[in-house]
């Protein structure tokens, strides 16, 4: 599968209204697009950050949806978003949560990796990262082969589980990135506003 992520920053005071619009109207708009396979919406209310991830069957569906919805998306995000970054990914590994309640936790790690080492990273992730962690509800490894980038997103049933996992996951992350010759660029945590997957027909 393929993923588009939209990362927006702005005034924290304007975040909740836009997050609600994305959770309801935004989800409906995405759901009507061919090839749509799920959506995640994550917020950092303290700093003023919104992350939207949408999942697609193929690259063509992802691109078509971006073009079809670009104007409406900009209108919905305008009250909050002062900066917006859009990235496209291939889902190399995915264990997705069917549905999570608001208040669940999400951790996002961005990494740099040489394009020649992408497959090593994928193999290392499968061997060492996709394992049972208390409260872990879903995990994915997204890759951008051309630009030498990767992102790991992990969903936790609640914030307590997210917090409790930090030490153990940090140790695994350090071991895995060293083995895969990857460099951690950023580490962030969010509250889950929405996380849903659409099953294949």
- Please tell me the number of Cα atoms within 13 Å of 58 on its side-chain side: 5
Fill in the DSSP letter of residue 26: I
Tokens of 70: 């670009």
Worst-scoring range by mean pLDDT, 25-39, 44-58, 97-111, 139-153? 97-111
Is the confidence at residue 153, as pLDDT, over 60?
yes
pLDDT digits (tens, 9 = 90+) for 95-105: 877 667 778 99
Q: Which of 165, 18, 148, 171 is nearest to 106 (CA)?
A: 165
Q: Which of 103, 122, 100, 102 is nearest to 111 (CA)?
A: 122
CB 111 within 8 A of CB 195: no
Going from the C-alpha of 147 to that of each of 52, 87, 126, the distances in angstroms are 21, 11, 21
Tokens of 53: 């991830």
CB 37 within 8 A of CB 91: no
Is the confidence at residue 152, as pLDDT, over 60?
yes
Please give the pLDDT value at position 129. 66
Is the confidence at residue 201, as pLDDT, over 50?
no
Q: Which of 80, 91, 98 is nearest to 43 (CA)?
A: 80
Mean pLDDT of the chain: 92
pLDDT over 90 for what percent of the chain?
80
Three-state secondary structure call for residue 81: strand
pTM assigned to the model? 0.92
| Per-residue confidence band for 195, with pLDDT thresholds at 50, 70 and 90 | confident
The pLDDT of 5-19, averaged and rounded, is 97
Is the confidence at residue 200, as pLDDT, over 90?
no
What are the beta bridge partners of residue 108?
Answer: 153, 188
Is the confidence at residue 50, as pLDDT, over 60?
yes
Q: What are phi and psi of 190, to 5 degrees?
A: -135, 160
């Amino acid at each position: 599968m393929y993923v588009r992520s939209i990362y927006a920053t702005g005034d924290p005071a304007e975040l909740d209204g836009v997050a609600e619009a994305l959770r309801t109207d935004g989800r409906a708009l995405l759901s009507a697009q061919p090839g749509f396979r799920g959506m995640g919406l994550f917020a950092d209310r303290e700093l003023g950050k919104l992350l939207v991830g949408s999942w697609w069957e193929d690259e063509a569906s992802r691109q078509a949806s971006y073009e079809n919805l670009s104007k409406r998306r900009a209108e919905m995000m305008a009250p909050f978003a002062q900066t917006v970054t859009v990235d496209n990914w291939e889902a190399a590994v995915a264990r997705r949560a069917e549905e999570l309640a608001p208040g669940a936790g999400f951790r996002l790690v961005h990494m740099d990796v040489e394009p020649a080492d992408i497959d090593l990273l994928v193999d290392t992730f499968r061997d060492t990262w996709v394992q049972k962690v208390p409260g872990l509800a879903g995990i994915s490894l997204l890759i951008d082969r051309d630009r030498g980038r990767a992102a790991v997103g992990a969903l936790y049933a609640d914030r307590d589980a997210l917090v409790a996992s930090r030490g153990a996951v940090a140790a695994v992350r350090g071991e895995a990135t060293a083995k895969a010759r990857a460099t951690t660029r950023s580490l962030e945590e969010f509250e889950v506003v929405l996380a849903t997957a659409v099953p294949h027909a």
